[in-house]
Structure 1
Amino acid sequence: MIICKKFNELTVEELYEILRLRSEIFVVGQKSIYNDVDGKDITSIHVMLKEDGKIKAYLRVLQPGVSYEDASLGRVLVAVEARKRGFAKLIVQAGVNYILENFKTKGITIGAQEYLQKFYDEMGFKAISEVYLINEIPHLDMKYY
């Protein structure tokens, strides 16, 4: 089941699980020391794919002007135990659909990890920048038109 919630609609348990998963995957799993709690969650829409009451995939939708001129997707993740089940495509498509249905924007811009470029290409995004580093991890900007 895919659920979209504003920050103030999240339960305490959902918020805890989101922050735990993001820390587990992006900070610990990728050995990247950075402050995941960046102030953008408060104005974001939190898109969760839940199974058996647990978050198995997640992303946040950022309004135009927060990270890019366009709306954006960020913190896209699939829980380790839920990988290889197609959840990444489901959650990204849900995020794209939310933006297209709710925001007046010319496109969707993301900062994708370089190793995921083919995945995002398949989802309709196209590279619009050269590769750059964020916390020693190669990224590139991609846009969905």
Structure 2
Amino acid sequence: MSYIKITKRFQDLSLEQLYQILQLRNEVFIVEQRCAYQDLDHLDGQCHHLMMYDEGRLIAYARIIPPGIAYKEASIGRILTHANYRGKGVGAMMMKLILSDLEDLLGNRPVKIGAQLYAEKFYEKFGFVRSSDVYDEDGIEHIQMIKSF
């Protein structure tokens, strides 16, 4: 399969891209995970948005958060893969692209994430290590993880 990756600053997103992002985040984080939470958190405007498309359809997404906004370190968040593309290596491909973009945009600096607990082993494959106890965020168990370059 041939996927297309696009990374843009918030102000450079088209209205169609923004709609696709918000729709997919809503589909995965609110509907699929049955979690009522405030997705629009005023961080999007300060982030780079990494989108992966398959034949014009948004299939994976993440936002890159500069240091000093969510944490003192750079961060990534809202990482997701469309349900129809899970188990096909898209998530791993997406993480490699995210880490490459992070390095290009921000250099080799530590990256901190708030990860859902079930995904801990996935993030460990990319060099992230747990840096907190388990905590509840919107009814879902999370941990903080950090990656040093």
Same fold (TM over 0.5): yes
Are positions 1:25 and 2:23 aligned together? no
CA offset at residue 85 of structure 1? 1.4
Deviations 1:18-64 (A, max 9, x none): 10110111011111111101111111100011110111110000000
Q: How does 1:79-118 map to 2 (within 5 A)?
A: 79-104=82-107, 106-118=109-121
Report how many residues are paired.
145
5+ unaligned residues in a row in structure 2: which ranges?
A: none
TM-score if structure 2 supplies the norm length?
0.94
Letter in 1 for 2:121: K
In structure 2, the residue matched to 1:124 is 127
Q: Distance in 2 between matches of 1:59 and 1:104?
A: 18
Q: Distance in 1 between matches of 2:46 and 2:94?
A: 19
Q: Distance in 1 between matches of 2:97 and 2:109?
A: 18
Query: Any conservation in 2 of the 1:59–1:77 contact (CA below 8 Å)?
Result: yes
TM-score if structure 1 supplies the norm length?
0.96
5+ unaligned residues in a row in structure 1: which ranges?
A: none
SS of equivalent to 2:144: strand
Q: Give the % identical residues.
A: 35
In structure 2, the residue matched to 1:34 is 37
CA offset at residue 104 of structure 1? 4.3
